[in-house]
């Protein structure tokens, strides 16, 4: 009897299901740019069914590669890839700004549904201040905000921008964001690095009139930063009041400030542009204040870069998250541009490095189209190795 008991016990032990090894939660995102038809829809594809099929193909590619979040650009230049009471249909969706899709559909609703159906998160990416992509060649509808309120805009280079110092502009952008958050189950609102535009050598951003009206004794640089701070604080309040579970994320340029300008908090990078001094975006203040839920710095440089090496900036951002989540922006689009980016090990080593940092919770790749040709075999690397095991997205305990 005892012998049969042990045989029975042994057989049952064999069939006890082993608990699956838990994999650390990680954000694995990809940017899907619609401006100028970079990623979707393909330039000239104005057919509704073809657009849907193209997006599903894109989505399935990323799902195979282990991506768990899409960051999709839904407002590239004060226009919309969804029906909006504030802004016209995007020219990059239908060919002519203001013209709805034919046959009619709601692209944002479609994309969210298909993305969520596969268990992926959907972050709605908006450009805050770009209004006319190329002056003179972009199609501008009669209902575009530049036609309705021309006094809100400033030309700079070949583009037209909202005036960030105008409080009516800030409220307008907040209304656009609130409209999306109230009508669509987006997991996050995502802004990129374009606040004040990048400097153009020899050309001054023409906001003197606003500065005279609203400057209130501040230096122009401090006044510009205060304008960016105020819209981020406003958007944070609006998003959370509308849907307390909706996240707010920013993807800044990879250098907050260099040590030559800030010996205490600056990174040991050597000159070049910075968020604080050139784009007037004080990302650290927004993190410290809890105005944003995550930051996704664009670290599109190689380890051996002479002025902004990847490893140095990875360490800097790991030390400056202030309790918020940090996803590193990785430049898969750089494949082949120089010797370092021709090395198949470049991107995998960047992934390995960020995974060693306690305050880094994931990554976002720029951009979707780069994956199609499997550059340097990196799509295979993700699918077969680095993203082989599915993981959940890291929770944000402060949103509970």
Is residue 13, in this structure, part of any structural domain at all? Answer: no
Examine the pLDDT at 165 and tell me if it is beyond 60.
yes
C-alpha count within 13 angstroms, C-beta hemisphere, residue 7 = 4
Please check whether residue 14 lies inside any domain of the structure.
Answer: no
Is 365 a domain residue?
yes
- Answer yes or no: is 12 within a domain: no
- Cα–Cα distances in angstroms (integers) from residue 65 to residues 53, 68, 155, 173, 389, in the given order: 19, 9, 41, 35, 10
Instruction: In whole angstroms, give the CA distance from residue 231 to residue 215.
Output: 16
Residue 9 covered by a domain: no
Digit-coded pLDDT (tens) for 333-383: 999 999 999 999 999 999 999 999 999 999 999 999 999 999 999 999 999
Write the DSSP string, 319-376. Answer: TS-TTSEEEEEE-GGGTTSSHHHHSTTHHHHHHHHHHT-TT--EEEES-GGGGTT-GG
Using pLDDT thresholds of 50, 70 and 90, give the confidence band for residue 272: confident
Structural domain for 111, as ranges: 23-392
pLDDT digits (tens, 9 = 90+) for 43-52: 999 999 999 9
Which of 12-16, 28-32, 89-93, 183-187 has the least mean pLDDT?
12-16
Count up the domains in the chain and report the number. Answer: 1
- The kind and range of the H/E element at 29 are strand 27-32
| CA pair distance 223, 98, nearest whole angstrom | 35
Sheet harboring 153-156: ordered strands across?
Answer: 130-132, 159-162, 153-156
Neighbouring residues of 303: CB distance < 8 A, sequence distance ≥ 6: 309, 310, 311, 340, 346, 349, 350
Query: For residue 271, what pLDDT band results from cuts at 50, 70 and 90?
Result: confident
Q: Is residue 3 part of a domain?
A: no
Percentage of residues in the chain having pLDDT higher than 90: 93
- The mean predicted confidence, pLDDT, of the chain is 94
* Domain assignment of residue 265, yes or no: yes
In a domain, 7, yes or no: no
DSSP for 368-398 reads: GGGGTT-GGGHHHHIIIIIT-S--PPPP-GG
The whole model's pTM is what? 0.94
Stated as kind and residue range, the H or E segment containing 161 is strand 159-162
Residue-wise DSSP of 234-288: HHHHHHHHH-TT-EEEE--BS-S-BTTT-TTT-BS--SS--IIIII---HHHHHH
Assign residue 249 the CATH number of its domain.
3.20.20.80
């Amino acid at each position: 009897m005892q012998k049969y008991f042990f045989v029975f016990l042994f057989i049952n032990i064999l069939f006890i299901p082993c608990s699956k090894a838990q994999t650390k939660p990680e954000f694995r995102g990809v940017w899907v740019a619609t401006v100028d038809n970079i990623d979707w829809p393909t330039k000239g594809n104005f057919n509704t069914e073809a657009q849907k099929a193209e997006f599903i193909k894109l989505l399935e590619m990323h799902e195979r590669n282990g991506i768990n979040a899409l960051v999709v650009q839904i407002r590239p230049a004060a226009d919309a890839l969804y029906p909006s009471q504030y802004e016209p249909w995007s020219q990059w969706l239908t060919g002519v700004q203001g013209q709805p899709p034919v046959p009619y559909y709601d692209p944002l609703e479609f994309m969210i549904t298909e993305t969520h159906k596969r268990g992926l998160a959907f972050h709605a990416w908006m450009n805050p201040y770009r209004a006319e992509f190329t002056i003179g060649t972009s199609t501008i509808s009669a209902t575009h905000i530049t036609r309705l309120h021309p006094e809100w805009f400033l030309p700079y280079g070949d583009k037209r921008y909202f005036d960030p110092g105008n409080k009516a502009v800030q409220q307008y952008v907040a209304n656009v964001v609130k409209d999306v958050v109230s009508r669509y189950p987006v997991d996050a609102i995502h802004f990129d690095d374009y606040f004040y535009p990048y400097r153009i050598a020899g050309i001054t951003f023409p906001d003197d009139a606003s500065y005279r009206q609203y400057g209130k004794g501040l230096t122009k640089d401090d006044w510009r930063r205060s304008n960016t701070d105020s819209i981020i604080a406003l958007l944070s309040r609006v998003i959370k009041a509308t849907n307390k579970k909706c996240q707010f994320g920013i993807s800044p340029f990879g250098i907050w400030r260099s040590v030559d300008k800030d010996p205490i908090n600056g990174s040991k990078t050597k000159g070049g542009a910075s968020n604080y001094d050139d784009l007037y975006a004080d990302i650290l203040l927004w993190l410290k204040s809890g105005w944003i839920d995550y930051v996704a710095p664009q670290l599109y440089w190689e380890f051996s870069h002479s002025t902004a090496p990847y490893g140095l900036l990875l360490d800097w951002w790991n030390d400056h998250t202030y309790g918020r989540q940090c996803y590193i922006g990785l430049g898969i689009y750089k494949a082949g541009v120089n010797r370092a980016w021709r090395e198949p090990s470049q991107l995998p080593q960047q992934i390995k490095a960020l995974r060693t940092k306690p305050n880094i919770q994931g990554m976002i790749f720029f951009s979707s189209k780069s994956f199609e040709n499997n550059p340097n075999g990196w799509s295979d690397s993700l699918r077969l190795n680095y993203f082989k095991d599915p993981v959940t997205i890291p929770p944000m305990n402060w949103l509970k």
